[in-house]
Amino acid sequence: MLIKIKTIPLDDLRLAKNVEINLARLAANQTTFTHGGKLFACDLLSRSDIDGINGHVGTRGSLPVDWIGGWKAVDNSIVPIQNVADWNAFYDSMIAQGQANFLKSKNLKAQLAAATTAEQIEAIVW
């Protein structure tokens, strides 16, 4: 008896892989970033706190009056952030990680566009 296996069209595989890449980038953006040799959380809650402080800095040009003096790294140490320049460097590190994640996504999508077989598409991983 011959069993017929249905193959999935390449366009459907590409669409699924594109969604997978987008989700991987989102997950990467919501994990961590490195600053000053330390790892910092960038999950939804942490990012909200970071953006809140950044909004204050951006609209007032200063750290909040009750600023605690730094930011807690993943290892629970507090990394000093004593002025707006320090804050901007910290925030720039987060932005740099986001940009790196975007470029990785862009490169994977270029590989996806060039893929001509299901095996090539499957081999593309974050």
Q: Is residue 5 part of a domain?
A: no
Q: Is residue 49 part of a domain?
A: yes
What are the backbone dihedrals phi and psi of residue 70, each rounded to the nearest 5 degrees, phi first? 180, -170
Rounded Cα gap, residues 32 and 41, in angstroms:
4
Q: Is residue 2 part of a domain?
A: no
Q: Rounded mean pLDDT of 3-32? A: 92
Q: Is residue 97 part of a domain?
A: yes
- The residue range of the domain holding 44 is 10-29+39-122
Domain count, the chain: 1
At position 90, the amino acid (one-letter code) is: F
Structure confidence at residue 3 as a pLDDT band (50, 70, 90)? confident
**Total-model pTM:** 0.87
